[in-house]
Structure 1
Amino acid sequence: MTGFLFSITFLVAAPFWALMILLPHWSWTRRIAGSPWIVLPPLLIYGALVAGAFTEVLPAVAQPTLGGVRDLLGTADGAAAGWAHFIAFDLFVGRWAYLDSREREIPALLMAPILLLTILLGPLGLLVYLLVRTRFAVKTAP
């Protein structure tokens, strides 16, 4: 079951990423990405994985040590839960960046590689977006 959940984690998030990157101006993209619930599928997977390994996860996160976290992530359950955690939070950050970029009218061609970077290396994508957004003010209605 762990292998299956690991395998589908990105698949349940991929359609949302595709909308934000490939169809950023489509009215349905903004409606769909406007809901914070788009992160629900990977969150449910994360919850299932953590619930199934709760006795291993709780000690590693309640009193974290490098060795304890390393050991947890070195298990199939820990690695799959970590992956689901990454996917959920990267999607939430990507969603925020997408919505914020629409308000600032940041060109979609500039946002596409930033969102791709966020998928691959979440914190670096966030850093790049935070730097880029300083160059674009929020557009206000006249």
Structure 2
Amino acid sequence: MWQGVFGFTNVVALLAWAVLVLAPRKPLPLAYVLYGGVAMLCLAYAAMFVGLVTMLVDPVRDPGLAEPDLLNYSVVGLKDLFRSEGAIVLGWTHYLALDLFTGLWIARDADAKGFSRVFQAPFLVLTFMAGPLGLLVWLLVRERRARKSGWTRSGKTPAG
């Protein structure tokens, strides 16, 4: 079961990333990325989360392990918690959803600041492969353009 859910979430994410990187930035493709990608992954995450927390679905824990202590919020406690197929797929889906949402934000931000699609592509791929690193590099690169164009922290120009 978990391998199937894992495969499904990966296909959803890959298709949405392909649309984000390759398709025109028009309302329909962007809506697909947001709702067909991000929201679908969030829905899958929510269903898995509820199923695992309520024990309606079997997490398929490693053999011989005791039930995890959900109150042990430490490296050891989290390591024990993630020693199941369900928890790994849940965690992976979490990454997929948030990285895709971050990629969508980067694409929209880059479009608004006048960066070409070709220039954006490496940042989107880096975000797909290593989410926080891609976001960090984008934040560093965008800052100069944001300041040159007069964007403030609120996202508005000084005159606006």
Structure 1 CA distance, aligned partners of 2:101 and 2:25? 19
Q: Alignment identity in percent?
A: 34
* Contact kept in structure 2, 1:36 and 1:92, CA below 8 Å: no
Structure 2 CA distance, aligned partners of 1:120 and 1:22? 17
The 4+ residue runs of structure 1 with deviation greater than 6 A are: none
Opposite residue 9 of structure 1, the aligned amino acid is: T
* Contact kept in structure 2, 1:13 and 1:41, CA below 8 Å: no
Opposite residue 51 of structure 1, the aligned amino acid is: V
Over alpha carbons, which structure has the higher Rg?
2
Deviations 1:111-137, CA, capped at 9 Å, x for gaps? 111101111110001001101111223
Q: Would you tell me which structure has more helix in proportion to its own residues? A: 1
Size of the aligned set, in residue pairs, is: 138
Alignment map for 1:69-80 (pairs within 5 Å): 69-80=78-89
Structural RMSD (CA): 2.6
* Contact kept in structure 1, 2:106 and 2:138, CA below 8 Å: yes
Structure 2 CA distance, aligned partners of 1:68 and 1:128? 32
Structure 2 CA distance, aligned partners of 1:7 and 1:38? 14
Partner residue, 1:99:
108
Structure 1 CA distance, aligned partners of 2:75 and 2:30? 40
Partner residue, 1:45:
44
| Deviation, structure 1 residue 31 | 5.0
Opposite residue 109 of structure 1, the aligned amino acid is: V
Higher RCO structure, 1 or 2 (CA under 8 Å, sep 6+): 1
* Contact kept in structure 2, 1:42 and 1:88, CA below 8 Å: yes
Residue 66 of structure 2 is aligned to residue 54 of structure 1: no
Secondary structure of the 1:105 match is coil
Alignment map for 1:1-142 (pairs within 5 Å): 1-25=1-25, 28-30=28-30, 32-33=32-33, 35=34, 38-54=37-53, 60=70, 63-137=72-146
Q: TM-score, normalised by structure 1?
A: 0.82
Structure 1: which 5+ runs fail to align? Answer: none
Q: TM-score, normalised by structure 2?
A: 0.74
